[in-house]
């Protein structure tokens, strides 16, 4: 089968602005190359364009025009590209320079014959354009008609080789593009950035690039590292803090429990984390690297409306709140098998590695007699002259006592607590206890408030 | 002849069939959205739709220092679904074993803004929780919320169809509020719960409701101790007797050796 090449280029306006409404990509041509790798393994970058050899995969995608249509898909492709085609890569590239095409229907239109292409479209001839002009040699056909020996002596063997490749008489080999195992991209910022939240604008372009890479690999990201290089001319570029280690490079690590192919959640996490970073010096270069990714299973779509999710997932909520307010502000409850009230439950952060071992026992039926609020630390109560506990007025003891032994293997000498349900005129039912030292005769019992029946 | 219907015809027309958000002054509004029963028949009868409205803001007003929200909300929270119940900026530590014994599974409790969060953070976290698909109900303690902030939460709850309860100080009762239902709750005599419906879609209710709103086992315990209570309202200082033979002998528990 004859080779068939496409040349893809990024229009100047699209490269500058990115797609409408989006921040654009850090390296648009590379992203386009990653996207093209799903159509053919033979993708190479030549100067500022991509060349693709598609003759082997045309049939798989349902013909040449269907393949080009999928390649230029305005919804899924990372950016709007234009293209040209030809029997060799250099021919397609030359046509891209002269008359780029935008729609797959243009494949059927007549194209310029190789002999009529101007010589400036051949990269090897760029250095000799003035000489060729004086010779009156303006097209590929005229150049090819010159004696080969003379051309080789005058312009070097490279010119002949390029011409042979362009006409398909010599094989073409290029440095083929491969999808990297680890995503790594850097971005030189257009201007110095002084505040950390403003780094997000650059990071957004890196994340858009990451999304193209993740889609091509069909992976989701679990851990990411954002690095930035401080301006070394500033005196405090050697600053030390949580994000800077004194080498002039700052770093921030983002982790997520569920691998996600969607950078919007990562972007929100990054924004919350960057809000807590202070930059000691202006930043010139940003870099993003994937630390941990995993393959995503395919998702089947449903047509039923009730299976469509509205809103975020729980995992995203937990991570976002923890990123903004700190991991200690998101807590989940875990029941423990213990008879002491303060040890019956354990509130733990979902992100923390130290998870309590879940108990399989349901709480005892008597737990319905316990209050719905438990004070973090028991609050000492005053006493009336006749010895009754006092809290915003005297307390009437309604039920009790329930004696709970505080002694356990991990605590010191045993303390007994006699729990009562007390009634306060203003606050309703309260859970109070009277502390007694085991064995010893305490001179004066101490009363504490431990819970509120909410 | 005029094309307009006569006034008497209009009055005779079934008003309820015109629009869901138009109701007669003397009767309760029809339920315009799904409701969750409160677990108290007395209260259900007084609420439009017979329960807590889903997808709307319900405001609970309490006097300072009073925390009576759990006893009122627990039956509804226990049966509103299986997803997490977000507690935003809770004033104390919720006691999960007691809540589980009353029907709200401890696995469903999600405590947000547990550590010294500002009022703005609590509002933000409440809205994020409302926008999360997995969460069934949001219970937020927002003493300083302004009406426009509450309106924002209200529309987030309506958009995502969530139960939303905001607990505020009773001093906010004079302020305007976008809540469809406002209740002033507090303890009453005999450990009952007094519920005054401040605002509802229907006629104003002058007399507060009195609800038991306690687990049956606790009510039985209190009833069993009532005779003792009548004898000595404030017991003397030696309440612990080793030879206690009362109806509820002190259960002495020891760590299993």
Hey, are the CB atoms on A368 and B115 less than 8 Å from each other?
Answer: no
Hey, are the CB atoms on A453 and B111 less than 8 Å from each other?
Answer: no
Q: Do B166 and B60 touch, CB atoms closer than 8 A?
A: yes
Task: Specify the higher pLDDT residue, B29 or B135.
Answer: B135
Q: Which helix (H) or strand (E) holds B198?
A: strand B193-199
Residue appearing with tokens 């500033």: A234
Give the pLDDT confidence of B105-154 residue by residue, as tens digits.
888 999 998 777 788 899 999 999 999 888 999 999 998 889 999 999 99
Hey, are the CB atoms on A451 and B95 less than 8 Å from each other?
Answer: yes
A343 lies within 8 A of chain B by CB? no
Whose CA is closest to B85, among B111, B60, B59?
B111
Q: What angle do helix axes B119-130 and B147-160 make, rounded to 10 degrees?
A: 20
Average pLDDT on B181-199 reads 86
Q: Residue B32's pLDDT band (boundaries 50, 70, 90)?
A: low
Q: Do B200 and B58 touch, CB atoms closer than 8 A?
A: no
Fold of B39-215: Rossmann fold (3.40.50)
HEC string for A41-109: CCEEEECCEEEEECCCCCCCCCCHHHHHHHHCCCCCCCCCCEEEEECCHHHHHHHHHHCCECCHHHHHC
Determine the pLDDT at residue B19.
67
Examine residue A401 and say whether the peptide bond preceding it is cis (omega within 30 degrees of 0). yes
Task: Nearest by CB to A369, from B71, B110, B221: name it.
Answer: B221
Q: Do B121 and A328 touch, CB atoms closer than 8 A?
A: no
Mutant choice from B55, B97, B241 vs A, greatest count of A C-beta within 10 A: B97
HEC string for A217-275: HCEEEEEEEEEEEECCCCHHHHCECCCEECCCEEEEEEEEEEEECCHHHHHHHHHHHHC
Q: What angle do CA A185, A191, A192 make, to 5 degrees?
A: 90
Structural domains of chain A sorted by starting position, each given as residue range(s) with its CATH number in brackets: 5-166 (no CATH), 184-295 (3.30.1490.100), 371-452 (no CATH)
Give the pLDDT confidence of A50-97 residue by residue, as tens digits.
999 999 998 899 888 899 988 888 878 888 888 999 999 999 999 998
Give the pLDDT confidence of A90-129 residue by residue, as tens digits.
999 999 988 888 888 888 888 888 888 898 888 888 888 8
Cα separation, A125 vs A145, whole angstroms: 15
Task: Specify the higher pLDDT residue, B35 or B228.
Answer: B35
B147 lies within 8 A of chain A by CB? no
Determine the pLDDT at residue B150.
92
Task: Nearest by CB to A333, from B92, B96, B117: name it.
Answer: B96
Determine the pLDDT at residue B139.
93
Task: Nearest by CB to B111, from A347, A402, A403: name it.
Answer: A347
Q: Residue A307's pLDDT band (boundaries 50, 70, 90)?
A: low
For residue A21, pLDDT over 50 is answered with: no
For residue B255, pLDDT over 70 is answered with: no
Q: How many CB atoms lie within 10 A of CB B113?
A: 28
Task: Specify the higher pLDDT residue, A408 or A27.
Answer: A27
Give the pLDDT confidence of A325-365 residue by residue, as tens digits.
888 888 888 888 777 888 888 888 887 656 666 666 666 77
Determine the pLDDT at residue A308.
53
Determine the pLDDT at residue B250.
42
| Mean pLDDT of all residues belonging to chain A | 83
Mutant choice from A318, A319, A331 vs B, greatest count of B C-beta within 10 A: A331
Hey, are the CB atoms on B69 and A454 less than 8 Å from each other?
Answer: yes
The tokens describing A340, both together, are: 């002491």
Task: Specify the higher pLDDT residue, A411 or A59.
Answer: A59
Determine the pLDDT at residue B249.
40
Terminal C-alpha separation, chain B: 95
Give the pLDDT confidence of B63-111 residue by residue, as tens digits.
888 888 888 899 899 888 888 999 999 888 999 888 888 888 888 999 9
For residue B58, pLDDT over 90 is answered with: yes
Determine the pLDDT at residue B129.
92
Q: Do A374 and B92 touch, CB atoms closer than 8 A?
A: yes
Average pLDDT on A419-427 reads 85
Determine the pLDDT at residue B252.
40
Determine the pLDDT at residue A325.
87
Length, in residues, of chain A: 454
pTM: 0.73
Those of residues 230-289 in A touching chain B at CB distance below 8 A are none
Task: Specify the higher pLDDT residue, B235 or A163.
Answer: A163
Task: Nearest by CB to B112, from A312, A330, A421: name it.
Answer: A330
| Mean pLDDT of all residues belonging to chain B | 79
For residue A17, pLDDT over 80 is answered with: no
Residues in contact with B186: Cβ distance below 8 Å, sequence separation at least 6, in sequence order = A428, B62, B63, B66, B68, B170, B193, B194
Whose CA is closest to A345, among A380, A370, A313?
A370
The tokens describing A82, both together, are: 């234009």
């Amino acid at each position: 089968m004859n080779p068939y090449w496409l040349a893809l280029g990024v229009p100047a306006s699209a490269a500058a602005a990115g797609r409408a409404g989006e921040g654009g990509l850090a390296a648009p041509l590379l992203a386009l190359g990653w996207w093209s790798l799903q159509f053919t393994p033979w993708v190479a970058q030549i100067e500022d364009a991509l060349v693709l050899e598609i003759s082997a995969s045309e049939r798989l995608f349902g013909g040449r025009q269907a393949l080009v249509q999928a390649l230029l898909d305005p919804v899924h492709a990372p950016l709007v590209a234009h293209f040209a085609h030809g029997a060799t890569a250099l021919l397609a590239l030359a046509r891209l320079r002269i008359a780029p095409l935008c729609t797959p229907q243009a494949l059927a239109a007549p194209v310029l014959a190789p002999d009529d292409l101007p010589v400036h479209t051949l990269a090897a001839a760029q250095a000799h354009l003035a000489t060729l002009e004086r010779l009156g040699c303006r097209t590929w056909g005229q150049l090819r008609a010159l004696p080969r020996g003379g051309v080789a002596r005058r312009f070097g063997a490279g010119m002949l080789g390029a011409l042979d490749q362009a006409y398909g008489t010599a094989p073409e080999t290029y440095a083929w593009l491969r999808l990297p195992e680890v995503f790594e991209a850097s971005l030189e910022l257009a201007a110095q950035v002084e505040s950390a939240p403003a780094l997000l604008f650059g990071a957004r372009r890196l994340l858009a690039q990451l999304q193209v890479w993740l889609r091509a690999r069909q992976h989701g990201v679990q851990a990411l590292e954002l690095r930035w290089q401080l301006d070394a001319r500033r005196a405090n570029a050697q600053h030390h803090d949580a994000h800077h280690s004194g080498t002039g490079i700052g770093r921030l690590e983002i982790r997520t429990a569920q691998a996600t192919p969607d950078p919007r959640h990562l972007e929100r996490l990054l924004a919350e984390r960057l809000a807590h970073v202070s930059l000691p010096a202006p930043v010139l270069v940003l870099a993003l690297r994937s630390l941990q990714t995993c393959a995503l299973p395919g998702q089947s779509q449903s047509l039923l409306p009730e299976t469509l999710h509205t809103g975020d997932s729980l995992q995203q909520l937990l991570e976002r709140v923890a990123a903004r307010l700190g991991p200690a502000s998101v807590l989940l409850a875990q029941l423990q098998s213990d008879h002491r009230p303060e040890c019956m439950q354990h509130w733990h952060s979902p992100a923390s590695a130290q998870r309590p071992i879940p108990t399989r026992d349901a709480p005892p039926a008597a737990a319905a007699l316990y209050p719905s609020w438990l004070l973090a630390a028991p609050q000492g109560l005053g006493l009336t002259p006749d010895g009754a506990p006092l809290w915003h007025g005297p307390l009437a003891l309604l039920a009790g006592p329930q004696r709970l032994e505080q002694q356990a293997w991990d605590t010191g000498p045993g303390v007994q607590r006699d729990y009562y349900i007390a009634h306060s005129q203003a606050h309703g039912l309260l859970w109070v206890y009277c502390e007694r030292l085991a064995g010893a005769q305490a001179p004066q019992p101490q009363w504490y408030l431990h819970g509120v029946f909410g | 002849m005029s094309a307009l219907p006569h006034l008497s015809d209009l009055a005779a027309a079934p008003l309820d069939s015109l629009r869901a958000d138009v109701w007669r002054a003397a009767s309760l509004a029809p339920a315009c959205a799904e409701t969750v029963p409160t677990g108290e028949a007395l209260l259900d009868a007084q609420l439009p739709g017979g329960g807590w409205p889903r997808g709307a803001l319900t405001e609970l007003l309490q006097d300072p220092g009073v925390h009576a929200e759990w006893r009122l909300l627990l039956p509804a929270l226990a049966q509103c679904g299986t997803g997490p119940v977000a507690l935003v900026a809770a004033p104390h530590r919720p006691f999960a074993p007691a809540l589980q014994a009353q029907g709200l599974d401890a696995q469903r409790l999600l405590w947000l803004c547990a550590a010294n969060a500002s009022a703005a953070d609590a509002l933000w976290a409440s809205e994020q929780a409302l926008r999360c698909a997995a969460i069934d109900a949001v219970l937020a303690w927002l003493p300083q919320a302004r009406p426009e902030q509450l309106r924002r939460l209200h529309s987030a709850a309506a958009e995502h169809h969530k139960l939303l309860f905001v607990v505020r100080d009773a001093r906010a009762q004079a302020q305007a509020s976008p809540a469809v239902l406002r209740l002033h709750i507090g303890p009453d005599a005999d450990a009952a719960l007094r519920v005054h419906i401040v605002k509802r879609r229907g006629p104003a209710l002058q007399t507060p409701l009195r609800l038991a709103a306690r687990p049956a086992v606790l009510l039985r315990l209190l009833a069993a101790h009532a005779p003792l209570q009548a004898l000595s309202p404030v017991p003397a200082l030696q309440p612990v007797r080793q030879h206690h033979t009362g109806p509820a002998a002190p259960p002495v528990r020891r760590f299993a050796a």
